[in-house]
Amino acid sequence: MSGFTLKARAPAPLRLDLRGITPVALATLSAAEVERLEIGHGNALVPLAEFFQVESRSDDTLLLAGDLSRGDRIGWQMDGGTLIVDGAAGDYVGAGLRAGEITVKGDAGALAACEMAGGTLRISGSVGDFAASTLPGSMDGMRGGTLIVGGNAGARFGDRMRRGSALVFGDVGDFLASRMVAGTIALAGRAGAHAGYGMRRGSVVFAGPAPGVSPTFVPAVAGAPVFWQLLARDLAPHGGLFATLASRGIDRQLGDVAAGGKGELILVR
């Protein structure tokens, strides 16, 4: 298995569709074969070499370098290997990720990690709306793996999320964890309005400022000390405010009862 560095020649005038450009897919190809791969540009297919300079690497990493803020579907349904984006990424980064590791050293657009099922996606900057949620028209959001956002996140983060862990070190927009089915979301910054709207199950940890809680959530009567210690220890390796959770107390709000939900908003004291 061999890796490649793909250097963007210049910002694309139209959106690029980079689905299929994954470490595993390129592992057995020569540099010349990679250059001839077709990628989407607007509504046309063009050779990859038209927008990228291709260089072989001594390791098996796939590195995408340059401004790819118009590069969509990076790591789309990726099923192994290591992919690094040295800059910004467009929409759908890590969507449907099954295995492997994707690192984005910049911001990402909308729908990052939507329907992600495994592996790890790290984004050092901020993400747009509907991260860790569903693809348009689908019913299930993020289904597994770990998503880590170093900056802020837009609205509807974790919409219909079903499984996995998603951490945000900055703030998130409105409707955090809306219609969430299961899984864990941990937030270090502030949340917008309507957190947990229509939530069915799952846990949302507020390690920073407490959000405004909807009247359709009710205080938990029973404590959950063992569960909290296990969850806190699982989040601690990520550092920041998450490192000290085990030593802090919590208040739990259960709901959304308007949707018959049994999820929990965990407010860390």
Q: Which residues of 213-251 are buried (b: 16+ CB within 10 A; e: fewer)?
A: bbebbeeeeeeeeeebeebbeebeebeebbeebeeeebe
Q: CA 61, CA 22: separation in Å to the nearest integer?
A: 10
Distance, CA of 77 to CA of 25 (rounded, Å): 11
Q: Kindly provide the b/e burial profile for residues 53-81, where b requires at least 16 CB atoms within 10 angstroms of the residue's own CB.
A: ebeeeeebbbbbbbebbbbbbbbbbbbbb
pLDDT of residue 26: 96
Q: pLDDT, tens digit, for every residue of 243-263?
A: 999 999 999 999 999 999 999
User: Which amino acid belongs to residue 61?
Assistant: T
Q: What is the pTM of this model?
A: 0.96
Identify the DSSP state of 236. Answer: G
pLDDT of residue 141: 96
Task: Give the per-residue pLDDT at 259.
Answer: 96
For the chain, residues with pLDDT lower than 50 are none
Pairwise CA distance, residues 22 & 11, whole Å? 20
Would you state the pLDDT for residue 1? Answer: 58
Query: Can you give the pLDDT at residue 2?
Result: 80
**pLDDT, tens only, 56-87:** 999 999 999 999 999 999 999 999 999 999 99
CA pair distance 86, 33, nearest whole angstrom: 23
Q: Residue 5 is which amino acid?
A: T
Question: CA angle, 257 as apex, 226 and 196 as ends, to 5°?
Answer: 70
